C-alpha cells in the first residue's frame, strides 16, 4: 500500500498587522522524520524540473514565495494529479514512487523537506523504468 499525495495546510500564526509564522514539525504535520532540507530558486518559467521519482525518499514541497505547479503520477495509474502551490502556508506531500514534475514562476522559491539524505541511487530518472517497476 503506497501513501497518497495530499495538500498540507500549515498554521499561520500571527495577523496582517505583524506578519505570520508557519511551522512544520516531523511526525506532526510532516508525516516523516526530516533528514534534509533544500531550496530551489530563480528557475526560468520555461523550465520543467523534477522528472523523476524516488525509491524511498518522501518529500514535502512548499512555495514560500511565488507559484509552483506540481504534477504527480502515481505507481498504480497514469492519472496525473496537479497541485498549485501559491501560498506560503501550503505544501504538498509527495510519497515515494511518485513521478513528479514542477514548473515555477520566476520569483518562486521552493522549500523541500525530505525524509532522507541525498543519494543518487534513490532516484528513478528514467520514465520507462518508473513505469516498469511501478
State the catalytic residues: 52
CA distances from 64 to 91, 124, 128 (A): 9, 27, 33
87 binds ligand TYD (CB under 6 A): no
Binding mask 106-125 for ligand TYD (x = CB under 6 A): ------------x-------
Residue number with CB closer to ligand TYD (12 or 65) = 65
SS3 of residue 92 by DSSP: strand
39 binds ligand TYD (CB under 6 A): no
CA distances from 37 to 60, 78, 95, 114, 119 (A): 10, 29, 16, 6, 14
Report the alpha-carbon distance of residue 65 to residue 81 in Å, rounded.
22
Report in angstroms how near the CB of residue 23 gets to ligand TYD at its nearest: 22
Residue number with CB closer to ligand TYD (6 or 118) = 118
C-beta separation of 12 from 85 below 8 A: no
Please identify which residue in 3, 12, 49, 81 interacts with ligand TYD, judged by CB under 6 A.
49
38 binds ligand TYD (CB under 6 A): yes
C-beta separation of 5 from 95 below 8 A: yes
Using CB under 6 A, which of the segments 7-15, 18-26, 35-43, 67-75 binds ligand TYD?
Answer: 35-43
Cross-strand partners of 104: 68
Residues at the site binding ligand TYD, with contacts judged by CB under 6 A: 36, 38, 40, 49-50, 118
Amino acid at each position: 500500500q503506497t501513501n497518497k499525495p495530499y495538500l498540507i495546510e500549515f498554521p499561520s500564526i500571527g495577523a496582517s498587522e505583524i506578519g505570520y509564522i508557519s511551522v512544520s514539525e516531523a511526525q506532526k504535520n510532516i508525516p516523516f522524520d526530516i533528514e534534509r532540507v533544500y531550496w530551489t530558486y530563480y528557475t526560468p518559467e520555461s523550465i520543467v524540473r523534477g522528472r523523476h521519482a524516488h525509491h524511498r525518499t518522501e518529500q514535502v514541497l512548499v512555495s514560500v514565495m511565488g507559484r509552483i505547479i506540481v504534477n504527480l503520477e502515481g505507481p498504480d495509474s497514469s492519472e496525473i494529479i496537479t497541485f498549485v502551490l501559491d501560498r506560503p502556508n501550503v505544501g504538498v506531500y509527495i510519497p515515494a514512487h511518485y513521478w513528479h514534475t514542477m514548473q515555477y514562476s520566476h520569483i518562486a522559491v521552493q522549500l523541500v523537506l525530505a525524509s532522507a539524505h541525498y543519494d543518487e541511487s534513490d532516484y528513478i530518472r528514467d520514465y520507462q523504468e518508473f513505469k516498469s517497476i511501478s
